[in-house]
Structure 1
Amino acid sequence: MKARFLLPLLAWVLGLPVLAEEKEAPAREIKAAPVSGGHVFAWPFLSSEEMKPRGATTTGSEVTLMSGSKEAWKRLQEPGLDKLEKDRRAILALAGNYRVSFDFTETVGLAENFKPTRPYFSWGTENVTLLEDRGKFISLQHSLVMYFKDEKGGVSGPHVMKHWRQDWTYEDPEMQVYQGDLTWKKTATPQPQGKWTQAVFQVDDSPRYEVAGAWNHDGGLSIWRSDNCPRPLPRREFSIRKDYNVLEGIHEISITPNGWVHVQSNRKLQVNKDGSRKYVGQELGVDRYEEITAPDLATGFNQYWAKTSGYWKDVRETWAKILKEKESFTLKDTYDEKQLFEIHFEYAAGLEEAEKPDPAADLKHAQETIGHFLEP
């Protein structure tokens, strides 16, 4: 992958803004309205210029939104389904090809003379693929699949980069709970009956957070609401914020006819080594997944996955063994002046160019790389 395309994708993964362009659908306008000089949501007495969302530098190709309802949505609405099957179909409906937007605004400040940071907004195109379905366990892989426009309007792509993963487990008896300082601890799931845990993994397949919650289906709405959940700072925050080290919050995932919406109500918390805690603020986030019919995302992902899936499976299985055997673990931030995702991505990029696979070398690299980042 050429550097000029890899860098925008890395920016997207790291939480920096990336924009694509939109095509008008026949029945509705989908272009974002320009920022006005008036009301700013949550901060009505601050100027729109002062609260302008953090910028964007990359231009993508046009997208076409799907009209009507997804087949997964129609299957979810079928009568006569028991609760467990409705839960499963709601989770399976998360898969698809999407325009994804990430929109976050601080709503409460708890420090003296608090001044909100500028809201965060980015969007791109993302494929969500079903990796595994074992009935009461479902795994979904997210991958960025981007088409970029050059200065003359020419389009190149697809350019693919593995993104995050979510694993769903029914009535999971235990979870990996984030403790702060890149430390996770195995913890019993409180009252797991009827609940699903959602385990979220970073772009390098290391753990990020895990939380339990229940699906509710009523009046055509399927929504999953989580318990309160601590997790590391998101990449959109840790490069600019030093006043807190844990983000905790409650998540809601709602299935829509053309995709899904993930709403987050988060608190920003400083947890010190002596155990003392201090909240510094709150934020509201809305991640919106809207099914698209163009450009083609699945083909690009399939081509990438055909070359790299064996290695990423080794990475997942190495982590699964660690999570099963260890009661707690702590990760190093860097090894040899590199972050974990950098080493994995460099190796995966080499696999895309390799003439033939070397499974033994893949497994060895996965195990050794992860081992370098585990604190003794």
Structure 2
Amino acid sequence: MKKLFILGMVLISANTYAQKKKKQQDIEAIKSMCGCYEVTFNFAETFASDKDYEFHNNYRTGGLEWVTAAEESNDKIVLQHLLIVGDTMIIKHWRQDWLYENTELYAYYKDKTWKPVTLPKEQVKGQWTQKVYQVDDEPRYEGSATWIHADGRHYWENTTDAPLPRREHTKRSDYNVMKRRNRHELTTEGWVHEQDNDKVIREGGKDVVLAQEKGLNTYKKVDDSQCLVAKQWWDKNAQYWADVRAVWDELFNTRKELSFKSKVDDKLLFQHLFALGDELSGDEYNSEKARQLIRKAIQPYLISDIELASK
């Protein structure tokens, strides 16, 4: 009996060690996406069931991008992307949060509406949720999956619903949901974000696939000195955007359905939040004041019955 007990304890210890080692591998993979990169974005429509469908032109662009860890703890890593335009112009780009064994997500439905979803703990054991946000930290899409480290490869992949991508949301209205199949994989030169997406018409409780597309975004590592201007910009503006994230978290923590207007007074939300950041930046920055103004900027866009501005 004593031998069985000892054997059981040894097996438990070995399993705990293996889990910790695997988690550390995951963390290293996620953090390896930080740095300065030459980025190329490529998208091409590949298939449509309707023979009369007119395929849209391929999309290709690129630039220099700085990816930095805006927050980091044992179970959460926040990666902020900053796009460098020309020599000195910085655009706060998308953001990806990675949460370990997270059970609370927001699932995109359609028409700028996200619904709270709670996953069973056993389903997310050993997994990481990737939460992707817009340039103004408004939600985009979220999904949970396991990082794979095998045969010399390191990747994470997941399928989830999302709003139309930035490159199409102001140009198209023939579909209203993108079903995204995302793979993030490390390479010898950096990493790639590969996508196999369905462009979906969601109406009356049914989904119809209008077209499919292939996406391949490549991140080629270059010397960090090439992104110095982005690093300096982030050092100056990081606190403001930490406050923006904190206000958004107040919304997410309500666990209520979230719906937003596209425009208020003919302006997009990011225009207000970017302008507010420029206005508040400086040596006299005050987080409490900033959060009040951020709440007031977001509130008019919120259709859901949540009184954010009163906080």
- Is 1:256 matched up with 2:164? no
Pairs within 5 Å for 1:307-322:
307-322=236-251
1:159 matches 2:159:
no
Return the letter of the residue paired with 1:182: K
Aligned to 2:128: 196
User: Greater share of helix residues, 1 or 2?
Assistant: 2
Matched letter for residue 320 of structure 1: D
2:88 aligned counterpart, secondary structure: strand
CA contact (8 A) 2:280 2:290 kept: no
8 Å CA contact 2:193–2:218 kept in 1: the answer is: yes
- Aligned counterpart, 2:45: 106
SS in 2 for 1:238: coil
Name the TM-score, length of structure 1 as normaliser: 0.72
How far is the alpha carbon of 1:356 from its aligned partner? 3.0
CA distance in 1, matches of 2:217, 2:263: 29
CA contact (8 A) 2:95 2:132 kept: yes
Q: Distance in 2 between the 1:359 and 1:196 partners?
A: 30
Q: Which amino acid aligns with 2:163?
A: P
Instruction: Decide which of 347, 351, 358 is 2:286's aligned counterpart.
Output: 358
Per the alignment, residue 174 of structure 1 pairs with 104
**AA partner of residue 327 (structure 1):** K
Structure 2 unaligned segments of length 5 or more: list them: 1-18, 306-311
Partner of 2:3: none
Partner of 1:247: 178
- Cα pair 1:145 1:159 within 8 Å, conserved: yes
1:83 to 22, 37, 40: 22
Query: What secondary structure sits across from 1:85 in the alignment?
Result: helix
Q: Contact 2:29 / 2:186 at 8 angstroms: preserved in 1?
A: yes
| Equivalent in the alignment of 1:29 | none
CA contact (8 A) 2:48 2:210 kept: yes
Q: Partner amino acid for 1:131?
A: A
Question: TM-score by structure 2 length?
Answer: 0.87
Q: Displacement, 1:264?
A: 0.4
Q: 1:194 offset after TM fit, Å?
A: 1.5
Q: Point out 4+ residue stretches in structure 1 off by more than 4 angstroms.
A: none
Q: Offset of 1:104 from its aligned partner? A: 0.4
Q: 2:116 is matched by which residue type in structure 1? A: K
Q: Alpha-carbon deviation of 1:294?
A: 6.9
Aligned residues: 284
Match of 1:328 among 242, 254, 257: 257
* Post-superposition offset of 1:350: 2.7
RMSD of equivalent CA atoms: 1.8
SS of match in other structure, 2:124: coil
Deviations 1:26-70 (A, max 9, x none): xxxxxxxxxxxxxxxxxxxxxxxxxxxxxxxxxxxxxxxxxxxxx
Q: CA deviation at 1:355?
A: 5.5
- Measured after TM superposition, the shift of residue 125 of structure 1 is 0.5
SS at match of 2:147: strand
Equivalence for 1:131:
70
